[in-house]
């Protein structure tokens, strides 16, 4: 067949299938969850009906996925009336249920489906996986409940069947910038502490230009123990404001925690303040990643903490500019110190 041409005589290229209009595609069976079936390519199907069994109402329950989202797992007992073994199906793309055991083994889809409100699962010989002991499944679920029930798990659960998103590519090289006195004053005001020119002298001792993921601290400022000691030094030149900074962090975390948005699978933007999980963070004895990320966002700076031979980064590490200030600390045997120089 000759190629299609426009009126001007140009050849109209044949679009690959995926670019064609939806209406031109054959109606997909997968658009309706009720009619979902294992893909023909992934399983051999001798008999379309007999390869599924109806699961009695009392022989299955919902569970959480590893991100804490509720009703994203189906736990289906292998033998009705017996709770010794079960298989777990995980919700994919919010529309179909895939056997997790089979997925782990060969990544082929073995699917469960709801038809008129009744649950049907593939019969045993259809699986490549072995059922799991239910007490193990239950233990995992109890742990997830404990971890997520008090907080708001993210609304849009990450689909655990997809490969986890690659962490955003962070540029290997970040510019280390010395702050202006105006910047130090502004941040000191936020923390309710008094700026001193001595702070500037400490920053002047930092002989760092570029920061890479492989930078190794070679020189530190001695005499600090806590993160707050370090911050006090960096903003006032001495440790006297450490306690005040700690208090301000606690106070501001309590009222401004929503700036954390979605962080580490928690949606802080939707979290009510009356919440045990938040209380635990606000009144924590030791600052942790949540606090460091909060500090970085609240004070609009970057924080890098060198611990166990690698850098933990907080705040925005994706921009290379000559303005953003980075606080570089090293944690050794529980003590924090200010990094002044790299090897």
Residues near Zn ion (CB under 5 A): 99, 101-102, 110, 127, 129
42 vs 238, beta carbon nearer Zn ion: 42
Query: Of 211, 225, 243, which is closest to residue 319 (Cα–Cα)?
Result: 211
CB of 168 to Zn ion, least distance (A): 34
80 vs 312, beta carbon nearer Zn ion: 80
How many Cβ atoms from other residues are within 10 Å of residue 61's Cβ? Answer: 16
CB of 102 to Zn ion, least distance (A): 3
Query: Of 99, 91, 100, 101, which is closest to residue 71 (Cα–Cα)?
Result: 91
CA distances from 178 to 7, 78, 254 (A): 63, 63, 30
106 vs 155, beta carbon nearer Zn ion: 106
| Ramachandran angles phi, psi of 113, nearest 5° | -150, 155
Return the H-helix or E-strand segment holding 187.
Answer: helix 181-190
80 vs 101, beta carbon nearer Zn ion: 101
126 vs 314, beta carbon nearer Zn ion: 126
78 vs 248, beta carbon nearer Zn ion: 78
Task: Please tell me the chain's helix, strand, coil percentages from 3-state DSSP, rounded to the nearest 5.
Answer: 30, 25, 45
CA distances from 168 to 172, 235, 276 (A): 12, 31, 31
3-state secondary structure (DSSP) of residue 288: coil
Q: 326: which 2 tokens? A: 């980075």
Tell me how far the alpha carbon of residue 235 is from its chain's centroid. 32
CB of 110 to Zn ion, least distance (A): 5
CB of 88 to Zn ion, least distance (A): 9
CB of 40 to Zn ion, least distance (A): 18
89 vs 336, beta carbon nearer Zn ion: 89
CB of 132 to Zn ion, least distance (A): 10
CA distances from 281 to 28, 35, 198, 310, 336 (A): 48, 46, 32, 24, 20
Q: 320: which 2 tokens? A: 């290379």
CB of 130 to Zn ion, least distance (A): 8
């Amino acid at each position: 067949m000759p190629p299609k041409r426009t009126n001007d005589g140009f050849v109209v290229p044949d679009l690959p299938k995926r670019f064609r209009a939806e209406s031109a595609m054959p109606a997909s069976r997968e658009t309706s969850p009720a009619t979902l079936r294992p893909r023909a390519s992934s399983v051999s199907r001798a008999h379309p009906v007999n390869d599924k069994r109806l699961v009695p109402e009392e022989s299955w329950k919902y569970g959480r996925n590893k991100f804490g989202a509720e009703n994203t797992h189906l736990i289906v007992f292998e033998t009705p009336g017996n709770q010794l073994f079960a298989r777990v199906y995980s919700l994919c793309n919010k529309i179909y249920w895939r056997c997790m055991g089979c997925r782990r083994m060969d990544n082929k889809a073995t699917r469960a489906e709801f038809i008129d409100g009744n649950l049907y699962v593939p019969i045993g010989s259809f699986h490549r996986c072995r059922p799991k002991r239910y007490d193990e499944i239950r233990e995992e679920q109890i742990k997830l409940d404990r971890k997520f029930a008090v907080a708001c798990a993210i609304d849009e659960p990450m689909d655990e069947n997809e490969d986890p998103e690659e962490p955003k590519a962070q540029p290997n090289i970040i510019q280390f910038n010395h702050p202006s006195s105006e910047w130090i004053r502004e941040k000191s005001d936020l923390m309710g502490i008094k700026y001193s020119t001595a702070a500037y002298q400490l920053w002047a001792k930092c002989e760092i230009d570029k920061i890479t993921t492989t930078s190794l601290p070679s020189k530190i400022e001695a005499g600090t123990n806590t993160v707050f000691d370090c911050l006090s030094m960096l903003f006032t030149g001495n440790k006297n404001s450490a306690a005040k900074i700690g208090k301000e962090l606690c106070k501001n975390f309590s009222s401004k925690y929503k700036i954390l948005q979605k962080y580490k699978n928690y949606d802080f933007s939707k979290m009510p303040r009356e919440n045990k999980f938040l209380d635990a963070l606000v009144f924590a004895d030791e600052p942790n990643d949540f606090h460091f990320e909060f500090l970085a966002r609240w004070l609009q700076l970057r924080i890098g903490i060198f611990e166990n031979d690698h850098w933990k980064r907080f705040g925005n590490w994706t921009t290379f500019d000559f303005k953003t200030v980075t606080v570089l600390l090293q944690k050794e045997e529980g003590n924090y110190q200010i990094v002044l120089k790299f090897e």
